[in-house]
């Protein structure tokens, strides 16, 4: 009997999330496509200890990871109208474990999304960075997705069905633009401040800083942004979850 | 000394309010092990709300619910109670067999049990298909299999045949009866009187959140089995006077010069009509089950209780 996380259920959710993420343009196809397009255009310019191709690879990994954790989280909103959580409440699985399963499945699927992108990067053979930076940017891109595990779950618990997607995807897109994840030629005080504040801004800067002081110098604020949004997102999700269960 | 078996379900003074809506108003109900009980009532009577509390899906505002002496949550955890809901409760993108195996994993009963249930419930034919492509009847069969995984002693069915065609409905009830024959207690909500009549040993009639009648199907039938006598009189005043005079024999209603009496002893009504009035075009019809049901639930609206 499992009250908490269940291996079979988590495995099933990883499979479902991956299937959704692969069919959804945003999680796998778009980051790979952007990497190939932008990398070919500006890739050979130097960036600290690596080149721009490597920076775009890592940032697109972060973007794909965030999209995948969001996709998994949105499942909560999609399944409620189907009566799936009601069905699960007729089993020993606790409601919190259902939500935790979505979070874990999102992280595992996000790992796969970053992995596939990095394999494309290795095959393309244009990204240049030291071995340690390959590893560090991979981990940062992957775990940066946690930011949107919490935010995604929060949105999924407030909105039903497709509304959750309609809210979450634009939120993520705006964050991706303002955080500098797309490396768009945006500059000025507004964008500098926005990058420091929005979710994803912290992970973007932490990834870029791995390329050395010539690329960017990260500070405590970038860690605060990253950890802060993860904690805030999860706390908001827990609050919405508690509010939801109290209604019964 | 024989141990006393606690009832399969016991509800004591259960009420449930949603804001200002009183969905359930003081239900006392004891269902014993092995009974097949229909909870009958019109839409919005409080059937689903009551069953949700039995399943631990919601908490009573007041009163207590126990299943075999334990709390609903404990009974669900132990797999003693399982349910088949009206609609939903399935994921479209995974197969029928995936559903059954998942429930088995959550109850920790192993894959062999899941495969056995898939076999027994005839899911083998479409077990590998995604739920998306299944018919309404097939989907209910998947939920039936999911409900059996934990080998529950109590099955709760909330309007389980909604959306099924006649054939699927008949097959479904045949399977449920096979389960009841194995000693499982079965409680089902329905608003189809025929379904209650045909498949239950006992009928609990609920309306406006209260139990308005409770008895064996035979008792409920006798309670509602009546006739309707209609007759034309010369004037509305005469009809009104006749209705008052016949009040002791049944429920009389008047529409213009026409009088209509719902009663058990239609002979007595007809005799009195001919003896005391100028009634003509007298018609005696058997009261349909639906009309009887409406009569009973209508009576409850006045606040009176009908005892079998």
pLDDT tens column, B4-22: 789 999 999 999 999 899 9
Is B87 within 8 Å of A83 when comparing Cβ atoms?
A: yes
- pLDDT on residue B304: 42
> Nearest Cβ partner of A83 from B55, B88, B106?
B88
Together in a domain, B115 and B156: yes
- B193 falls within a domain: yes
Q: Does B19 touch chain A (CB under 8 A)?
A: no
CATH of the domain at B216: 3.40.50.300
Q: B89, A79: Cβ pair inside 8 Å?
A: no
- Alpha helix (H) residue ranges in B33-95: 47-54, 72-77
Residue A120 lies in a domain: yes
Under DSSP, is residue A29 helix (H, G, I), strand (E, B) or coil?
Answer: helix
Q: Tell whether B169 and B41 lie within a shared domain.
A: yes
Nearest to B91 among A7, A84, A90 (CB): A84
Cβ-defined contact of A90 to B83 (cutoff 8 Å): yes
Query: Number of Cβ pairs closer than 8 Å across A and B?
Result: 72
Considering only CB atoms, A90 lies closest to which of B55, B91, B102, namely B55
**Both structure tokens of B198:** 């045909």
Is this complex's ipTM strictly greater than 0.85? yes
For residue B132, give the chain A residue with the closest CA.
A82
In a mutational test of the A interface, the residue from B105, B134, B146 whose CB has the highest number of chain A CBs within 10 Å is: B105
Number of helical H runs and strand E runs in chain B: 11, 13
Backbone angles phi, psi at A246, to 5 degrees: -70, -20
Give strand pairing partners of B205. B40, B213
pLDDT in tens, B261-275: 888 888 888 998 898
**What would the mean pLDDT of A200-209 be, rounded to a whole number?**
96
Q: How far is A235 from chain B (nearest CA, A)?
A: 25
Report which secondary-structure segment, H or E, holds B38.
strand B36-40
Inform me whether the C-beta atom of residue B92 falls under 8 Å from chain A C-beta atoms. Answer: yes
The per-residue pLDDT for range B131-156, each reduced to its tens digit, is 999 988 889 899 999 999 999 999 99
Each residue's pLDDT expressed in tens, for chain B with a length of 308 residues: 456 789 999 999 999 999 899 999 999 999 999 999 999 988 888 999 999 999 999 999 999 999 999 999 999 999 999 999 877 899 999 999 999 999 999 999 989 999 999 999 988 888 899 999 998 888 989 999 999 999 999 999 998 888 788 888 888 899 999 999 999 999 999 888 778 888 899 999 898 899 988 988 777 766 666 788 889 998 999 898 888 888 888 888 888 899 988 888 888 889 988 988 888 999 988 765 566 666 676 654 444 444 44
Residue A237 — pLDDT band, cuts 50, 70, 90?
Answer: very high
A171 occurs within a structural domain: yes
Structural tokens at position B149 = 């995984």
Are B236 and B192 within one domain?
A: no
Nearest CA to A90 among B262, B203, B152? B152
| Residue B209 within a domain | yes
Residues B45 and B175 both lie in one domain: yes
**Are B63 and B13 contained in the same domain?**
yes
CATH number at residue B251: 3.30.70
- Residue A108's H or E segment, with its range, is helix A95-124
Q: Are residues B179 and B274 in the same domain?
A: no
- pLDDT of A100 higher than 90: yes
How many domains is chain A built from? 1
pLDDT digits (tens, 9 = 90+) for A16-50: 999 998 888 888 999 999 999 988 888 888 899 99
DSSP string covering B115-145: HHHHHHTTGGGTTTSBGGG--HHHHHHHHHH
Mutation target for A interface from B102, B130, B140: give the one with most A CBs within 10 A.
Answer: B102
* Helix A29-42 vs helix A52-79: crossing angle, to nearest 10: 160
Residue A126 lies in a domain: yes
| Same domain as B252, residue B114 | no
B-chain residues near A17 (CB < 8 A)? none
Question: Which domain does B25 fall in, by range?
Answer: 9-222
Asked if the structure places residue A1 within a domain, the reply is no
- Is the Cβ pair B76, A90 closer than 8 Å? yes
Whether residue B148 sits in one domain with residue B269: no
Band (pLDDT 50/70/90 cuts) for residue A225 is very high
Same domain? For B253 and B118 the reply is no
Q: Do A93 and B77 touch (CB under 8 A)?
A: no
Write down the pLDDT at residue B278: 87
User: Least CA distance to A94: which residue of chain B?
Assistant: B77
- Residue ending a domain, choose from B204, B222, B240: B222
The alpha carbon of residue B276 is apart from the nearest alpha carbon of chain A, in Å, by 59
Distance linking the first and last C-alpha atoms of chain B: 34
Option in A6, A9, A16 nearest B93 (CB): A16
Is B108's CB within 8 Å of A16's CB? no
If one counts the domains in chain B, the total is 2
- Full domain range(s) for residue A183: 7-246
Residue A84 in contact with residue B91, Cβ under 8 Å?
A: yes
Specify whether B245 is located in the same domain as B151.
no
- pLDDT, residue B265, reads 83
Report chain B residues whose CB lies below 8 A from the CB of A89.
56-57, 76
Closest residue on chain A to B74 (Cα): A92
Is residue B58 less than 8 Å (CB to CB) from chain A? yes
To probe the interface with B, which of A14, A17, A82, A90 has the most B CB atoms within 10 Å? A90
Q: How many CB atoms lie within 10 A of CB B99?
A: 26
- Domain presence at residue B239: yes
From the CA of A33, how many Å to the nearest CA of chain B? 27
Instruction: Please identify among residues 185-244 of chain B the ones whose CB lies closer than 8 Å to any CB of chain A.
Output: none
At A81, list the tokens: 């109208």
Residue B308 lies in a domain: no
Say whether both B126 and B233 belong to one domain.
no
* B237 and B123 assigned to the same domain: no
Residue A2 lies in a domain: no
């Amino acid at each position: 009997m499992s009250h908490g996380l269940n291996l079979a259920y988590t495995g099933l959710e990883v499979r479902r999330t991956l299937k959704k993420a692969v069919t959804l343009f945003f999680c796998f196809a778009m980051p790979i496509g952007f990497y190939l397009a932008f990398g070919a255009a500006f890739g050979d310019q130097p960036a600290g200890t690596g080149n721009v191709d490597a920076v775009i690879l890592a940032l697109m990994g972060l973007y794909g990871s965030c999209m995948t954790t969001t996709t998994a989280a949105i499942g909560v909103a999609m399944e409620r109208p189907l009566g799936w959580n009601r069905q699960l409440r007729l089993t020993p699985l606790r409601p919190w474990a259902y939500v935790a399963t979505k979070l874990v499945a999102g992280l595992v699927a996000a790992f796969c999304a970053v992995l596939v992108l990095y394999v494309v990067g290795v095959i393309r053979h244009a990204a240049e960075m030291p071995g340690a930076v390959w590893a560090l940017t991979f981990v940062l891109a992957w775990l940066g997705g946690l930011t949107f595990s919490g935010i995604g779950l929060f949105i999924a618990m407030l909105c039903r069905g497709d509304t959750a997607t309609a809210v979450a995807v634009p939120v993520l897109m705006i964050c991706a633009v303002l955080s500098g994840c797309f490396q768009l030629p945006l500059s000025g005080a507004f964008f500098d401040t926005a990058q420091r504040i929005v979710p994803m801004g912290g992970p973007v800067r932490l990834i870029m800083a791995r390329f050395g002081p010539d690329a960017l110098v990260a500070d405590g604020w970038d860690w605060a942004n990253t950890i802060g949004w993860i904690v805030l997102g999860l706390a908001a999700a827990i609050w919405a979850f508690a509010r939801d269960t109290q209604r019964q | 000394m024989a141990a006393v078996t606690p009832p399969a379900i016991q509800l004591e003074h259960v009420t449930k309010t949603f804001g200002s809506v009183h969905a359930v108003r003081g239900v006392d109900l004891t269902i014993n092990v092995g009974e097949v009980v229909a909870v009958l009532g019109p839409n919005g009577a409080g059937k689903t709300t009551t069953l949700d509390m039995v399943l631990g899906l919601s908490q009573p505002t007041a009163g207590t619910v126990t299943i075999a002496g334990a709390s609903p949550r404990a009974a669900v955890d132990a797999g003693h109670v399982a349910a088949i809901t009206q609609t939903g409760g399935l994921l479209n993108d995974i197969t029928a067999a995936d559903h059954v195996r998942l429930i088995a994993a959550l109850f920790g009963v192993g894959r062999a049990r899941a495969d056995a249930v898939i076999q027994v419930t005839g899911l083998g034919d479409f077990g590998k298909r995604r739920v998306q492509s299944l018919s309404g009847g097939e989907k209910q069969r998947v939920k039936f299999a999911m409900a059996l995984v934990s080998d529950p002693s109590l099955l709760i069915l909330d309007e389980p045949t909604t959306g099924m065609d006649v054939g699927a409905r008949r097959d479904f009830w045949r399977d449920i009866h096979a389960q009841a024959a194995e000693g499982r207690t079965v409680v089902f909500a329905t608003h189809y009187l025929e379904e209650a009549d045909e498949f239950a040993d006992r009928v609990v009639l609920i309306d406006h959140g209260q139990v308005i009648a409770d008895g064996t199907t035979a008792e409920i039938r006798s309670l509602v089995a009546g006739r309707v006598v209609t007759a034309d009189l010369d004037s509305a005043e005469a009809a009104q006077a006749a209705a008052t005079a016949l009040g002791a024999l049944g429920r009389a209603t008047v529409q213009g010069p026409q009088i209509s009496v719902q009663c058990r002893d239609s002979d007595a009504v007809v005799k009195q009509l001919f003896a005391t009035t100028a009634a003509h075009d007298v018609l005696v019809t058997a009261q349909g089950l639906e009309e009887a049901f409406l009569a009973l639930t209508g009576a409850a609206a006045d606040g009176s209780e009908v005892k079998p």
